[in-house]
Amino acid sequence: MIVNKNQPGRGNNPSNNNNNSDDKFRVNREIRVKQVRVVGENVEQGIYPIEDALRMAEELEMDLVEISPSAVPPVCKVIDYQKFLFQQKKKQKEIKAKSAKIVVKEIRFSPQTDDHDFNFKLRHAQEFLTQGFKVKAYVFFKGRSIVYSEQGEYLLLKFATALEEQGKMEQMPKLEGKRMIIMLNPKKKK
């Protein structure tokens, strides 16, 4: 099965100019080198002139796809191009599904946060950590309240200590501009 990318509905059609994965690989006559290393099933692997490699692919009713253009000589595989593209898309989908999505929940305090408000926010943080979210807790200093940075640090350390069972602190409280910040990671479930 020889693929002609110039057919209507294929990669070179001006009406289909979105970035397809078709444009990633050179196929058949698009390969512009003198020699290629041929690999694939039912093929004797080795280095061949491009014309011989194309003839081998035609005899097997397959396509010659350049899979490693930077190698010397470039590596080409004799495969069904449509099936190859399908497998590439499937792999990308699996990788995307396996990648962990990290959600960070923020909790804001002021240097003079009272006990009731502190406990309310503590319960929310416990819920977030048990659900597997990261928690970013910070004390925001307005105006001259920055002089109470010790109070803010004490508040954040008290907060992290109260959450030791659900999560662990990444680092000690750090002052960034008008905010003192800590990050809490959820503990791994055993």
- CATH number belonging to domain 14-95: 3.10.20.80
**pLDDT value, residue 37:** 92
Question: For 143-176, what is each residue's pLDDT tens digit?
Answer: 888 887 888 889 999 999 999 888 888 888 888 8
- Supply 2's token pair: 């020889």
**pLDDT value, residue 40:** 87
Going by their DSSP bridges, the two strands 179-186 and 134-140 should be labelled as antiparallel
**pLDDT value, residue 137:** 93
**pLDDT value, residue 127:** 92
Question: For 112-126, what is each residue's pLDDT tens digit?
Answer: 889 999 999 999 999
Domain ranges of the chain: 14-95, 104-186
**pLDDT value, residue 117:** 93
**pLDDT value, residue 71:** 87
Which residues of the chain are modeled with pLDDT < 50? 6-22
- Supply 155's token pair: 């508040």
Long-range CB contact pairs, 87-96, < 8 A, 24+: 88/21, 88/24, 89/21
Asked, colleague to colleague, whether 14-95 and 104-186 share their fold, the answer is no
**pLDDT value, residue 4:** 52
Per residue, the 3-state secondary structure of 55-73, as one string, reads HHHHHCCCEEEEEECCCCC
Class of CATH domain 104-186 = alpha beta
**pLDDT value, residue 11:** 41
**pLDDT value, residue 14:** 38
